Structure formats: structure tokens, C-alpha cells
């Protein structure tokens, strides 16, 4: 007799749908989450807590990761994230619901060609591009389910790269929009582009126990105090627990999945909040720790049939890690250039910009070098956080600290004289041999376990695409009247956009998982977070992770 039918390790967008669907189907479920269990009462808008303290993330001093980067001489250097000079941190959302608590909730579907990137655009030297073992049509019903169950607001706008849909529109009307959204619409239309209303995993009317958006403006990087944002915790796990068939165990750090002589997983070993070793067994285990830590857990889980780590008999675990390539940029308008009524609308905090362009999702430009995959341009309102807005003003163009009167002038300009609109570029981070996860041979965490060693090399083609999109975004910003429009190509990937490392595919020699996201050599272990993705598309990953987890849940339940 097993303790549970299903053991889910991790509680974010990859774990929540499994727990909910299995509990709803009458199965017994336990969710093991390394972090604590926060709720709406904990997510008040404390800028210091969210921006400068690690209340919602793992402590990099006791749980570091080691990051390898290329130097100017082409040699790789490694620093643990506990080192003040590291500048990196790939822990994110260490609590029930994971990083889905702190997402901005910009939701985009992949497009049919994203599932067959290699077949559509051909190989690129030095990139490990692979077609998916499923098609867009296989995932479309689950995208639709996410719209209703997680709660997605927006408006479907017809355009040349719109993906096929089984429903005409989103179930929730768009969130309230800032004046800048109208500016984007006007400028983009004048330039012959199609401005899109970006879908958001944010409620605009009540759902179950969740309140609609209250428009505080503190959204990305902050937890949601109303429950409007569609985190795994509020949208799925609360309901799963309410069935009486799902138990969530917070502060349970899983450090190994045991397996027997037949190769099947038999138990999950974890440390509880008191640091005591515990064990839980189940018929099926689901790994959903976010991509880097999911690879680490499998590598730590050796067994009689898995001497190099669970699912790693062919050396594929941790390989082909991907992030989101692209760029960020911004421009500002001077308030003195506008009348009083317009200034009041510009200064209004809370409403979202919610605009994007996908006119360049495919590039067919001789100047670029022929037909290629492009990406997405998203326009984003600046955070109302005073600390967030003030921090960039601390340093000059050479990186030196700014003091005294000059610093005060900068703050005066930021808070009283101008307002900022940002833009973000999303394009494929091509999988390559220099982006992967391994176990560090020396650095250990507070439990004495080897930490993740992450190499973050990226392919030069990513920068070429990013620059092409920046060159299209900047004129739109300037046409709207924004000044000093800047851009920064993403040299270092962000922690909330990580995938790959356990890609799925038909061939066990080149993949870790089968098409159902089950480990090739272990029939009762699945991986349901973003680790499964061979390529990431030119959009944020969260909607696809949610949708695929629903798909995996369906197959997992059938196998039981």
C-alpha cells in the first residue's frame, strides 16, 4: 500500500495542474514544496521585502548555485551566487505556488511553427534545435482550459501570425488600460503594424474566492493581495486541498528520488522544516522544481538502474537548458510638454499598458540574411515602486556611484519631471552545448548536497534577432514621443524564464522524456515544469507550462 497515488515535487505552474486534476479525479496527492506557504495576507506591497530581502526566495548564502560565464578571452569562469561579485541568482519563487506568485502574468501562446522550428527554418550551426514530438494542435485544448481555470483576460486581435483558436475570445475582458496603450495603438497603426492587446493571467471579475484586480500597479515581482493573479497556489492548489484528497507539505526540501532494482521510483526523500529526513512513497512521482533545480534533483537521484542520476543513462539530463533571449529598453516623456489633463492621465498608476507587436514573429528580410524566426515586442508600464525607479539613478554611465546634488537632481527628474515606458523583446534562446546544468564538484548547500552548476553560454544568433527587433521597437517608441530611447540586449538570462534541461522527444538517445513527459527509463516519474521544452518560442513560457501540465495530468491519471 502506497502513501499516495501521486507525489508532486514543486508547486508552481508545472505542479499545480497535476495536483488539481489528480485530486479532482479522486486520486490521493501530496505536494512537497521547499518553501513556506504564504497567502494574500502576506503579499502586501512592501518594496524592501520584495526588492531587497529574500523573503520569497531561497537564501543564496546557504543554498547557492555556481554560475559559469565566458570571459573576454573565451575561457569559462565560475562563481557561486553567494559571492558578492556574482551578480546572478537563479532561485525564484521559493514558496507554495512557486514563481507563478510573482509573475507579471503576460500570457502568450506558442505558434504552430514553434513546435517545428527545425523543420520550418532549418538548422543553425552550433545550435541543438529540435522539433517537438507533439504539435500545436495537441496542446491547443489545454491552452483553452488554462484560459478558464487560471483566468485569463484580454482581447483576441486578428493578425497575420495569430495562432489557431478553438474559442473566439478570452473569458475575461481586458484589464483597465493606461493612456500609453492608446499611444501604442496610434503609433503602431500609423506605421502599418497591428498592435495587440496582451492577454494577462489577471482576473477582471470575481472567480471562486478570488477578487478581481485592484490596480495597485505592484504586479511583476510582487505577490497579489487580491488573488486576481493566476498563481498555481490561488487558482489550483487551494481548490485541490479543498477536495480533501490533496495534502501540501511546505518547507519540504526533496533531495533524492529513490528507485529500485527494476528502475521504478519508490520514494521521495526530503528534509522537513526542522531539518529531519523524511520519506514519502507513491505510485507516481512528478518533478516540477523549475528547470535548473529539476535537473539537479534528477542528477542527485542515482539508483541501481540509474547510476548517473535518474533518467541520465545517456547523459542528457541538464543539457540544452534554455532561457528567453531578447532585450529590454525604455524611453521617457517630459510632463511639461503636455496639458494638465493629459499629465493627470500619464501620472495615473495602476492601469496596465498591455500592448505588444508580433509583426516580426517571422523575419523575411534580405538585409537580415533571409527567412528566420523573429519574436515579440511588448510594451510595459514602469513599476510604481519608488525603490525600483530610484535604483538605476545611483550609477553613472561608467558604473560609478552618483552622490549628493547630482543624485537628488536625478531623483527629481524621475519622480517629478518625466514618466517612463519600457519595452521588452522576446525571442528564442537557441539550445547549445554551452548552456547546461551539472552538479558542482565542490560547493555544497546547507544540507551538504552538491549545488547546481549552471553554464549560461548563448548562441550569437540570439543577439542578431534581438537587435533586429530592437531596431523595430525603437522607432515606435519615438513616434509616440518618447525621448532618449535606449536598449540593452539580454546578456544574462532572467531567473523567471528558464526551461529545458530535460527535453522531451521520441529518441531516448537525445531526450530525457517521452512525448508524455515521462522519463524514458523510469515509467513512474514525470517532469511537468518547463524542463520538457526543446525550444522556448519567442514568448514567455508560463502559459505553455500550465497547458502542458494539464496535458501531462490527463495522461498520468489514465496510467493509474
Distance CA 259, CA 157 (A): 49
Per the DSSP assignment, residues forming a β-bridge with 6 are 29, 284
DSSP secondary structure code for residue 32 in this structure: E
Q: Where are the domains of the chain?
A: 4-39+70-82+90-559
3 state DSSP class of 183: helix
The CATH superfamily holding the domain 4-39+70-82+90-559 is FAD/NAD(P)-binding domain (3.50.50.60)
In this structure, what C-alpha cell is assigned to residue 139?
496542446
- Straight-line distance from the first to the last Cα atom of the chain, in angstroms, rounded to the nearest whole number: 14
- 556 CB-contact burial (10 Å; exposed 0-12 / middle 13-18 / buried 19+): buried
Distance CA 31, CA 237 (A): 9
Q: What is the reported pLDDT for 17?
A: 98
DSSP 264-331: -EEEEEEE-TTS-EEEE-EEEEEE-S-HHHHHHHHHH--BTTBTTSTT-TTS-TTTTEEEEEEEEEEE
Distance CA 124, CA 214 (A): 46
Distance CA 347, CA 345 (A): 5
Enumerate residues 6+ apart whose C-beta is below 8 A from 517: 504, 526, 527, 528, 532, 548, 552
Q: What is the reported pLDDT for 1?
A: 66
Distance CA 173, CA 154 (A): 5
Q: How many residues does the chain have?
A: 560
Closest CA to 527 of 511, 538, 541, 540: 511
- 456 neighbors 68 (Cβ within 8 angstroms): yes
Q: Which residues of 90-121 are buried (b: 16+ CB within 10 A; e: fewer)?
A: bbbbbbbbbbbbbbbbbbbbbbebbbebbeeb
Distance CA 87, CA 72 (A): 17
Closest CA to 174 of 345, 421, 354: 354
The strand ranges marked E within 497-539 are 498-500, 525-527
DSSP 395-429: B-TTS-B--HHHHHHHHHIIIIIEEEEEEEEEEE-
Q: What is the reported pLDDT for 491?
A: 63
The CA R_g of the chain, rounded to the nearest whole Å, is 23
Q: What is the reported pLDDT for 252?
A: 97
- 231 neighbors 100 (Cβ within 8 angstroms): yes
Distance CA 177, CA 183 (A): 11
Q: Scanning the structure block, which residue is given the C-alpha cell 538585409?
A: 367
Q: What is the reported pLDDT for 493?
A: 81
Q: What is the reported pLDDT for 293?
A: 97
Phi, psi angles (nearest 5°) of residue 557: -65, -40
Strands 355-357 and 375-381: antiparallel
DSSP 318-359: TTTEEEEEEEEEEEEEEGGGS-HHHHHHHH--S-B--EEE-T
**pTM recorded for the entire structure:** 0.96
- 237 neighbors 96 (Cβ within 8 angstroms): yes
Q: What is the reported pLDDT for 51?
A: 65
- 265 neighbors 526 (Cβ within 8 angstroms): no
In this structure, what C-alpha cell is assigned to residue 461?
544568433
- 443 neighbors 83 (Cβ within 8 angstroms): no
3 state DSSP class of 147: helix
Distance CA 384, CA 390 (A): 11
- Could you list the pLDDT tens digit for every one of the 560 residues in the chain? 679 999 999 999 999 999 999 999 999 999 999 999 999 988 887 777 776 677 888 888 899 999 999 888 888 999 999 888 787 878 888 999 999 999 999 999 999 999 999 999 999 999 999 999 999 999 999 999 999 999 999 999 999 999 999 999 999 999 999 999 999 999 999 999 999 999 999 999 999 999 999 988 788 888 899 999 999 999 999 999 999 999 999 999 999 999 999 999 999 999 999 999 999 999 999 999 999 999 999 999 999 999 999 999 999 999 999 999 999 999 999 999 999 999 999 999 889 999 999 999 999 999 898 899 999 999 998 877 777 778 778 887 777 888 889 888 888 887 888 899 999 999 999 999 999 999 999 999 999 999 999 999 999 999 999 999 999 999 999 999 999 999 888 767 887 899 999 999 999 999 999 999 999 999 999 999 999 999 999 999 999 999 999 999 999 999 99
- 56 neighbors 94 (Cβ within 8 angstroms): yes
Closest CA to 133 of 433, 533, 473, 467: 533
Strands 66-70 and 29-32: unpaired
Q: Scanning the structure block, which residue is given the C-alpha cell 510604481?
A: 384
- 91 neighbors 85 (Cβ within 8 angstroms): no
Amino acid at each position: 500500500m502506497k502513501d499516495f497515488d501521486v507525489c508532486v515535487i514543486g508547486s508552481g505552474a508545472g505542479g499545480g495542474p497535476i495536483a488539481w486534476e489528480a485530486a479532482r479525479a479522486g486520486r490521493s496527492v501530496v505536494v512537497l514544496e521547499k518553501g513556506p506557504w504564504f497567502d494574500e495576507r502576506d503579499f502586501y506591497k512592501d518594496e524592501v521585502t520584495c526588492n531587497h530581502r529574500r523573503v520569497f526566495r531561497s537564501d543564496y548564502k546557504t543554498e547557492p548555485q555556481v554560475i559559469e560565464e565566458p570571459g573576454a578571452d573565451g575561457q569559462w569562469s565560475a562563481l557561486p551566487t553567494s559571492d558578492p561579485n556574482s551578480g546572478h541568482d537563479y532561485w525564484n519563487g521559493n514558496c507554495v505556488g512557486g514563481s507563478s506568485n510573482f509573475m507579471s502574468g503576460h500570457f502568450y501562446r506558442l505558434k504552430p511553427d514553434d513546435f517545428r522550428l527545425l523543420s520550418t527554418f532549418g538548422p543553425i550551426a552550433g545550435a541543438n534545435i529540435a522539433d517537438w514530438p507533439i504539435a500545436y494542435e495537441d496542446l491547443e485544448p489545454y491552452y483553452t482550459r488554462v484560459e478558464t481555470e487560471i483566468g485569463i483576460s484580454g482581447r483576441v486581435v486578428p493578425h497575420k501570425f495569430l495562432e489557431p483558436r478553438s474559442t473566439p475570445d478570452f473569458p475575461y475582458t481586458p484589464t483597465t488600460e493606461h493612456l500609453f496603450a492608446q499611444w501604442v495603438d496610434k503609433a503602431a497603426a500609423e506605421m502599418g503594424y497591428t498592435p495587440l492587446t496582451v492577454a494577462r493571467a489577471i482576473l477582471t471579475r470575481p472567480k471562486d474566492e478570488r477578487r478581481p484586480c485592484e490596480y495597485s500597479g505592484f504586479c511583476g515581482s510582487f505577490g497579489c493581495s487580491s488573488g486576481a493573479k493566476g498563481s498555481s497556489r490561488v487558482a489550483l492548489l487551494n481548490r485541490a486541498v479543498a477536495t480533501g484528497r490533496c495534502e501540501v507539505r511546505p518547507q519540504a526540501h526533496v533531495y533524492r528520488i529513490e528507485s529500485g532494482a527494476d528502475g521504478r521510483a519508490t520514494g521521495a526523500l526530503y528534509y522537513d522544516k526542522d531539518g529531519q529526513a523524511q520519506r514519502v512513497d507513491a505510485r507516481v512521482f512528478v518533478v516540477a522544481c523549475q528547470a535548473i533545480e529539476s535537473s539537479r534533483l534528477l542528477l542527485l537521484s542515482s539508483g541501481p538502474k540509474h547510476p548517473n542520476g535518474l533518467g541520465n543513462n545517456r547523459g542528457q539530463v541538464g543539457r540544452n537548458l534554455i532561457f528567453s533571449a531578447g532585450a529590454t529598453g525604455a524611453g521617457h516623456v517630459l510632463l511639461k510638454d503636455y496639458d494638465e489633463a493629459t499629465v493627470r492621465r500619464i501620472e495615473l498608476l495602476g492601469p496596465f499598458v498591455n500592448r505588444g507587436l508580433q509583426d516580426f514573429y517571422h523575419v523575411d528580410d534580405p538585409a537580415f540574411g533571409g527567412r528566420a524566426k523573429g519574436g515579440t515586442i511588448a510594451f510595459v508600464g514602469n513599476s510604481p515602486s519608488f525603490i525600483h525607479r530610484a535604483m538605476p539613478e545611483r550609477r553613472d554611465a561608467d558604473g560609478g556611484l552618483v552622490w549628493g546634488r547630482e543624485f537628488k537632481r536625478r531623483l527629481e527628474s524621475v519622480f517629478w519631471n518625466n514618466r517612463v515606458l519600457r519595452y521588452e523583446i522576446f525571442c528564442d534562446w537557441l539550445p547549445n552545448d554551452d548552456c547546461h546544468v551539472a552538479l558542482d564538484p565542490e560547493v555544497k548547500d546547507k544540507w551538504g548536497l552538491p549545488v547546481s552548476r549552471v553554464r549560461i553560454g548563448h548562441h550569437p544568433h540570439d543577439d542578431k534577432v534581438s537587435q533586429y527587433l530592437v531596431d523595430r521597437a525603437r522607432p515606435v517608441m519615438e513616434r509616440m514621443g518618447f525621448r532618449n530611447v535606449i536598449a540593452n540586449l539580454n546578456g544574462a538570462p532572467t531567473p523567471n524564464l528558464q526551461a529545458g534541461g530535460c527535453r522531451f522527444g521520441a529518441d531516448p538517445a537525445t531526450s530525457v522524456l517521452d512525448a508524455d513527459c515521462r522519463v524514458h527509463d523510469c515509467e513512474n516519474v514525470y517532469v511537468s515544469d518547463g524542463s520538457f521544452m526543446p525550444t522556448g518560442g519567442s514568448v514567455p513560457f508560463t502559459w505553455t507550462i500550465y497547458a502542458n501540465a494539464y496535458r501531462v495530468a490527463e495522461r498520468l491519471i489514465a496510467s493509474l
